């Protein structure tokens, strides 16, 4: 394996610290935890799944108007999947991620939501479907899941636990990522 990039490395990066709080640390970490559970059940790579889960909403902008989530603007103009795929890719490459993994994670982020038309007529891969499902598992009416707050240190604690779980799962993984079918 290439040098391994952890979720902790990603979470503590300044780009992640700038953008992840917009959609909420709790939603990011919960989606990563959901992604881990689904990855085990569906035989998808837990490394790709948890990274895509953690970063899936990194493309969000503040859609707030007078302190409230502005759904009208969001529904009409959102491109958070596109911005997120690009931001996540740049962040992962900066941290030394394997190019093939960075591409798979970025594509899973690009197709995780139907809020922009990019997913229309796209047949999702198992990893892409898993990322979308892990996100949906944490959804609450009116976007309330974006407002569940946890501290950065709590997010870090949960991400470290996930890093250990992923590491256990990856032990003995000798697959070349390009050849691997767990995605
Ligand atoms: Fe999203
Ligand atoms: Fe989300």
Q: Which residues contact 90 (CB under 8 A, 6 or more apart)?
A: 15
Distance 125 CA to ligand 2 centre (A): 18
CA–centroid distance, residue 104 to ligand 2 (Å): 18
Ligand at shortest distance from the CA of 135: 2
Rg from Cα positions in the chain? 15
Domains contained in the chain, CATH given: 7-170 (1.10.3210)
**C-alpha of 165 from chain center:** 17
Mean pLDDT of 162-172: 92
Give the CA dihedral 135, 148, 160, 154, nearest 10 degrees: 180
- Report which bound ligand comes closest to the CA of 53: 2
Report how far ligand 1's centroid is from the alpha carbon of 113 (Å).
Answer: 6
**pLDDT band, residue 2 (cuts 50/70/90):** low
Q: What is the 8-class DSSP label of residue 146?
A: G
Distant-in-sequence, close-in-space partners of 128: CB < 8 Å, separation ≥ 6: 107, 108, 111, 112
Residue 165 vs residue 120, higher pLDDT: 165
């Amino acid at each position: 394996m290439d040098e391994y990039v952890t979720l902790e490395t990603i979470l503590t990066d300044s780009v992640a610290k700038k953008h992840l709080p917009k959609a909420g640390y709790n939603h990011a970490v919960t989606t990563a935890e959901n992604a881990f559970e689904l990855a085990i059940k569906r035989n998808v790579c837990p490394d790709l799944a948890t990274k895509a889960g953690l970063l899936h909403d990194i493309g969000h902008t503040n859609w707030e108007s007078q302190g409230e989530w502005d759904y009208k603007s969001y529904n009409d103009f959102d491109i958070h999947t596109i911005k997120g795929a690009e931001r996540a890719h740049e962040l992962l490459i900066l941290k030394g991620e394997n190019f093939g993994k960075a591409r798979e994670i970025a594509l899973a982020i690009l197709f995780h939501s139907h809020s922009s038309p990019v997913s229309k007529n796209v047949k999702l891969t198992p990893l892409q479907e898993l990322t979308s499902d892990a996100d949906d598992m944490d959804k609450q009416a009116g976007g309330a899941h974006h407002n569940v707050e946890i501290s950065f240190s709590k997010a870090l604690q949960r991400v470290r636990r996930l890093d250990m779980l992923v590491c256990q799962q990856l032990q003995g993984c000798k697959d070349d990522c390009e050849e691997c079918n767990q995605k």
